[in-house]
Amino acid sequence: MTIAIIGSGHMSKALSALYAASGEHVVIGSRNPGNGVQSIADAAAAADIVLLAVPYHAAAETIAAANGFKGKILVDMTNPLKPDFSGITIGFSTSAAEEIAKLAPEAQVVKGFNTIFASILANGGKVAGQPVTVFLAGDDAEAVAQVEAVTARAGFKVIKSGPLANARHLEALGMLNIALGYHLGHGTDIAPTFVGL
């Protein structure tokens, strides 16, 4: 399986290492290709699954740079944060993932990874020796199943979380994670899950 990760920041670096370690072929797409990093369009063209690891405010320009990620499974990990991280900017009637799906109507959008701090991913995707949980939400069962398969192979616990509209809840959960970690002083070695699932 070829996985393209768009963006070359914290989430990209950590996830590329984890997926490569589990045997996937990983390519990186960037606004500034070179040194083994591809253009956004070339990386997307090579991939079965594309992970969107850019800020939410850069989603539209990134989707345009890849001609809409047509025919691809597009995993959206963005949190639509206010500039000061005090809250999210949308959520009751839509979500970042649903807005991204409108911008990329020929992609199959799956929400995932937005509730996990990059530092945990960089440490192997575990907290206290336990795999952290990746919540996946999407409208296409086959697309969700493919993301689930590679993500479970990379060592994560996966909780399938219903249709893409449930990204509204996952993005709120991502915000709670940030509030606990940063605003309430618990630090970033925390991640949400559900006991019993």
Ligand X SMILES: NC(=O)c1ccc[n+]([C@@H]2O[C@H](COP(=O)([O-])OP(=O)(O)OC[C@H]3O[C@@H](n4cnc5c(N)ncnc54)[C@H](OP(=O)(O)O)[C@@H]3O)[C@@H](O)[C@H]2O)c1
**CB of residue 61 to ligand X, shortest distance in Å:** 7
Pick between residue 11 and residue 144 the one whose CB is nearest to ligand X. Answer: 11
User: Least CB distance from residue 142 to ligand X, whole Å?
Assistant: 24
- Beta strands at 49-52 and 126-127: parallel, antiparallel or unpaired: unpaired
Whether 54 contacts 62, CB under 8 Å: yes
Instruction: Please say which residue, 108 or 115, places its beta carbon nearer to ligand X.
Output: 115
CA distance 148 to 21: 16
Instruction: Name residue, tokens 């984890």.
Output: 18
Instruction: Identify residues 161-180 at the interface with ligand X (CB under 6 A).
Output: none
Neighbours of 159 (CB within 10 A): 16
Please identify, using beta-carbon distances, which residue of 142 and 170 lies nearer to ligand X.
170
DSSP state of 88: B
Residues 6+ apart with CB under 8 A from 19: 3, 26, 150, 154
53 binds ligand X (CB under 6 A): yes
Under rule CB under 6 A, residue 138 binds ligand X: no
> Does position 54 bind ligand X by CB under 6 A?
yes
Stretch that binds ligand X, among 56-64, 82-90, 127-135, 164-172 (CB under 6 A): 56-64
Report the distance separating Cα 110 and Cα 77, nearest Å: 9
User: 1, 58, 173, 190: which one contacts ligand X (CB under 6 A)?
Assistant: 58
Tell me the residue nearest to ligand X as measured from the CB. 9
Q: How many residues bind ligand X (CB under 6 A)?
A: 22
Q: Does 117 bind ligand X (CB under 6 A)?
A: yes
Gap between the Cα atoms of 115 and 192, Å rounded: 7
Angle at 113 between CA 112 and CA 115, to 5 degrees: 115
- Coil, strand or helix at 183: helix
**What binding mask, one character per residue, do residues 12-41 give for ligand X by CB under 6 A, x or -?**
x-----------------xxx---------
- Applying CB under 6 A, the residues found at the interface with ligand X are 7-12, 30-32, 53-56, 58, 62, 77-79, 114, 116-118
